[in-house]
Amino acid sequence: MQVGILGAGQLARMLVLAGVPLGMRFRVFDRSADAPAGQVAPITVGDFDDLAALAAFARDVDVVTFDWENVPVASARAVARDARVLPSPRALEVAQDRLSEKRIFTRLDIPVAPHAAVDDFAGLERAVRRVGLPGILKTRRLGYDGKGQAVLRRPADLQRAWHALGGQPLLYEGVVDFDCEVSLVAVRSRRGEVACYPLTWNVHSHGILSVSRAPFLRPRLQAQAQRHVGRLLEHLRYVGVFCVEFFVAGGRLVANEMAPRVHNSGHWTIEGAETSQFENHLRAIAGLPLGSTRARGHSVMVNCIGRMPPAARLLALPGVHVHDYGKSARPGRKLGHLTYVGGSASARDRMAARLLGRGRG
């Protein structure tokens, strides 16, 4: 089977590496010839709104997926005329707009933070009166890793936030008083079979995921997350890997965001689960049986941000795995990740502390 991937970042790179043992072949499409997946698969360089280039790309593959949820929906729909696109452009459309996400969560009875759409400064004032302070003003589209956001703590912050983000569709959200952040990575096959990984406990730094630990052993929250995500998967008739990030607040889950793709918080599954999220995504879109999502032990994943530490220093730690994305260094950029699977949560956490010390360069 020939798989086409729209976007050639590190997620596409890891999809390729997971699919080669299955006998799959790959082509990737990206705006940059230097994209990480271009080092491991043939790359077509073009713009995501170049419909002729996308059509030619699609005709050379059996199925098309994506590693980046900001591929224009119109382009994904155009590609679907020449190849099967999984997940569907509909899932892409919902995930690209934070307000659409909130509406679908609410429709499916999944708790969310209080929020309001904002189109002008008067609308921001109304939203703050309705939702209250503190809150976060966010762009409805394109924000990620903490970008496109402004925190409002007092009335004087409104003008500053509007100056930074105004002039585009926005969403104002109340701040959730949460205990921790978790995510559920799940996969749904073409036949509607669903498999869920254990909940993952995530810690962010400056809006960027820093550390993930799994499994997060809270059976009641695991069941709650699986019910919420199961409803989303069924509603969207989704095929592939899907992730929802939640706040744990007062013993319940509050949905934050969803991602219609393999997810950073699921990278631990490469070594830490019987079947990685990347292999299961490929199994799903290819119509193959899903693999087991059972955890092999207690895993930690540490992102390397801004600088990739010397591999020799990391590989000297027993059981540590290094994933270098082959990207050039710059502040705030995810350059790779480190994983470790221990026999106990305490062993994992001891290694996590060492990785956090060495993994920052």
- Same fold yes or no, 114-174 and 180-358: no
Percent of the chain, pLDDT > 70? 98
Compute CA distances 295 → 210, 328, 343, whole Å: 21, 32, 11
Q: Is residue 285 within 8 Å of residue 18, measured between CB atoms? A: no
pLDDT tens-digit readout, 165-205:
988 999 999 999 999 999 999 999 999 999 999 999 999 99
pLDDT tens-digit readout, 266-322:
999 999 999 999 999 999 999 999 999 999 999 999 999 999 999 999 999 999 999
Res 148: pLDDT = 84
pLDDT tens-digit readout, 133-144:
999 999 998 766
State the CATH class of domain 2-85.
alpha beta
pLDDT tens-digit readout, 85-135:
999 999 999 999 999 999 999 999 999 999 999 999 999 999 999 999 999
Give first-to-last CA distance, the chain, whole Å: 40
Distance CA 69, CA 72 (A): 8
Mean pLDDT, the chain, as a whole number?
95
Give bridge partners of residue 88 from the DSSP assignment: none
Res 71: pLDDT = 92
Give CATH superfamily name and number for 114-174: ATP-grasp fold, A domain (3.30.1490.20)
Q: Is residue 173 within 8 Å of residue 115, measured between CB atoms? A: yes
What pLDDT band is residue 69 in, cutting at 50, 70 and 90?
confident
Residue 26, helix vs strand vs coil: strand
Closest alpha carbon to 10 in 325, 264, 344? 325
- The DSSP symbol for 36 reads G
Token readout for 353 is: 């502390």
pTM of the complete model: 0.94
Exposure letters 50-75 (e unless 16+ CB within 10 A, then b): ebebbeebbeebebbbbbbbebbbeb
State the CATH class of domain 180-358.
alpha beta
The domain limits of the chain are 2-85, 114-174, 180-358
Distance CA 187, CA 224 (A): 16
Res 357: pLDDT = 81
CA 146 distance to own-chain centroid: 13
